[in-house]
Amino acid sequence: MKKRALITGVTGQIGSYLAEYLLELDYTVYGLLRRRASPATTNLDWHGITDKIHFMSGDLSDDISLQRVLNELATGVDRGYDSKDSPLEVYHLAAMSHVPTSFSQPLYTIDITGTGTLRLLETIYQICPDVRVYIACSSEIFGDAPAPQNEKTPFSPRSPYAAAKALSLHLARIYREGYGLFAACGIVFNTESPLRDEEFVTRKITKSLARIKFGLQDRLILGNLDAERDWMWCDDTVNGIYKILQYPHPNDFVLATGESHSVREFVELACEYADVPLTCVETSRSLYRPLEVPLLRGDASKAHQLLEWEPKVKFPELVRRMVEHDLLIEETKKKSLKENVPW
């Protein structure tokens, strides 16, 4: 019996890794994609799986489009399968996920990241209530709560993004406990890979240092170097997400390494791997958040015990992989510039 999966946010970092993971397990993978002139499939292209994804046009801000997509997948219309013999799973990853941007676009953030989850859950409940659905939540919901944070830690969101993610988790619990929906949540700590968007601090660091290494940039300007995060490799995150939805009972699980490291530690190690002096790094108060979150470190004991999940990639290896990836990219760019070849 071949399983099917619908992924919202399939073109994002975690979405593309998850799509590859599910394809390797012989799933038929569908991706919810907002209609645009040129779909942003760069991450899927990087994995070499773009032509293996069945894209479906839909938007988390549009109830009608979600109903159309779920109706089609629930009934098997024009898809050549019997939905009864082809179970469907929904992985909801799509969000406006950049914390600083959420301060400048709070209404949009709440609508897509919070209310968008409500639209999806209600559509699933009305059309295909037997579907298993994974709801992506974030460690940002804990804010300044004492570390380590686990599933019982009170929420203390300190950004519109964090508030929207807390709303998503509460909604999932309501639909699970009040309506019997199989809605499981992953409270995921910072997830990294070469596909991390460049507006996030880790990728900003590794890309900028690589550009400095090859003379394409002079300096790296960062905000709060003392903020500590629990950084995790994307393959480990995806493995945990999959295990959460395969668990017999819907529940909430923290996915984290249990170790925290400061931005300062990250940049120092990245400078070492890139062979770039730390003196090229500067700080600016203008890059601090309006409300800082000093320390996020997760306690994933529940996932260890019930899911038998363990992260494999340690912090130094995570940094090294990201640095090496960006060094290769920027070296190629420099060679192209020397040879006057368009990049």
Catalytically annotated residues: 138, 140, 161
- Written as one letter, the residue type at 107 is L
Q: Which residues pair with 23 in a beta bridge?
A: none
Closest CA to 188 of 229, 216, 160, 132: 229
Question: Across the beta sheet with 88-92, what order do the strands follow?
Answer: 54-57, 28-33, 4-8, 88-92, 132-138, 182-188, 252-255
DSSP string for residues in 102-127: HHHSHHHHIIIIIIHHHHHHHHHHHH
Residue bearing tokens 């925290």: 260
The residues near 165 (Cβ < 8 Å, ≥ 6 apart) are 95, 113, 114, 137, 138, 140, 141, 157
The answer to whether residues 297 and 230 touch, using CB atoms and an 8 Å cutoff, is yes
Rounded-to-integer distance, Cα 231 and Cα 259, Å: 8
CA distance 332 to 328: 6
SS (H, E, C) 236-261: HHHHHHHHHHHCCCCCEEEECCCCCE
